[in-house]
Amino acid sequence: MSKKHAGIVQKQFTKTAEAFSTFATRDTPEMLAERVAFAKPQPDEIALDVACGPGALVFAMAPHVHFARGIDLTHAMLRQALAFQAQLRITNACFDQGECERLPYPDAAFDLIMCQFALHHMPRPEAAIEEMKRVSKAEGRLLIADTLGPESDEKWELHNRIEVMRDPSHAASLRLTTFLKLFEEHGLSVLRQTLKPRPRSFHRWMLRAGVEASNRRYQEARRLIEEAIPGDRAGFSAQYDGDDLTIVHYEGMFLLGQQLAPESHSG
Ligand SMILES: C[S@@+](CC[C@H](N)C(=O)[O-])C[C@H]1O[C@@H](n2cnc3c(N)ncnc32)[C@H](O)[C@@H]1O
């Protein structure tokens, strides 16, 4: 990741660390339990959450594994994580500051590597995936969850333009087809996969990114989404809901394993 983009990510998530923790409605206990069950953690495993933010997935995973670590670029997010850890009294977890294209861990160090709702902040998601694979044991698993961009080029462009307007650290929401291609190119096979629509309030979505209704970016994003309702041209499946809008993000969750090199047969 370039220094410039790393600076944009840190600025955004320093500004919004508190709002993010308050408004991150997707991390309800049920949703976290669903992700934990999906990964099938084992009591002797060591897990790593890459771009862990305030640590919700680390804390959900910790009771099911031997040890859980989180790493994130943004100090303010890690401070939130440490405060939550103290409240929850979780002792088999810790947090590191670092960049996911250069993870400060040796090869094959983890059984389970997770990364949720963060690849869309990375201009080179392929570099992050390669690095996660490097620190995964050969028989380890990767759990990737992220919002998916629309498949149509026109919808994808407008969708991501609105996302960047809301949050300048957004790089791109990858399409399902792009994710599957990336996994294949990196020798990762999909063990399990789910795709789910996640409806949410536009207003709360903006607040979580630190953008108030009085802000020009709020108004512009809302205008673009409203104008694109006929034909769902921004791919948000937006609908009016009183003074607010309901928008939908499609979320993909993938459990990946490393493809074993085919055995070579001679003679
Ligand atoms: C939308 S938040 C998601 C946080 C957490 N995974 C969750 O679901 O609650 C994105 C996080 O990714 C982190 N991040 C973005 N780019 C990163 C990078 N290259 N290396 C490490 N962390 C990064 C940000 O600091 C931020 O905490």
In tens, the pLDDT along 110-165 reads 999 999 999 999 999 999 999 999 999 999 999 999 999 999 999 999 999 999 99
Residue range 218-234, pLDDT digits in tens: 999 999 999 999 999 99
Q: Record the tokens describing residue 11, joined without a space.
A: 């600025």
Query: From the CB of 173, is ligand 1 less than 6 Å away?
Result: no
Give the residue-averaged pLDDT of 182-205: 96
| Closest-lying ligand 1 atom to the alpha carbon of residue 1 | 19
Average pLDDT over the chain, rounded to an integer? 93
Q: 20 in a domain, yes or no?
A: yes
Estimate to the nearest angstrom the gap between the alpha carbon of 60 and the chain centroid: 16
Q: 240 in a domain, yes or no?
A: no
| pLDDT-based confidence at residue 1 (cuts at 50, 70, 90) | confident
CATH number at residue 179: 3.40.50.150
At residue 145, the 3 state secondary structure works out as: strand
Give the residue-averaged pLDDT of 12-33: 74
Closest CA to 172 of 153, 157, 155: 157
Q: 159 in a domain, yes or no?
A: no
pLDDT of 65 strictly over 60: yes
Give the residue-averaged pLDDT of 11-28: 71
73 Cα–ligand 1 center, Å: 7
Q: At 150, which helix (H) or strand (E)? A: none
Residue range 241-262, pLDDT digits in tens: 999 999 999 999 999 999 766 5
| Closest-lying ligand 1 atom to the alpha carbon of residue 77 | 27
Q: 139 in a domain, yes or no?
A: yes
Mutational pocket test of ligand 1: of 8, 13, 59, 131, the residue with most ligand atoms within 8 Å of the beta carbon: 13
CA distance 53 to 26: 13
What is the number of domains present in the chain?
1
- pLDDT given at position 91: 97
Rounded to 10°, the helix 153-166/216-227 angle is 160
Mutational pocket test of ligand 1: of 8, 22, 34, 73, the residue with most ligand atoms within 8 Å of the beta carbon: 73
Q: 113 in a domain, yes or no?
A: yes
Residues of the domain holding 82: 3-149+170-195+251-258
Q: 209 in a domain, yes or no?
A: no
Mutational pocket test of ligand 1: of 121, 130, 146, the residue with most ligand atoms within 8 Å of the beta carbon: 121
Q: 7 in a domain, yes or no?
A: yes
Atom 27 of ligand 1: nearest residue by CA position: 53
| Closest-lying ligand 1 atom to the alpha carbon of residue 101 | 19
Q: 161 in a domain, yes or no?
A: no
> Which amino acid is it at 238?
A
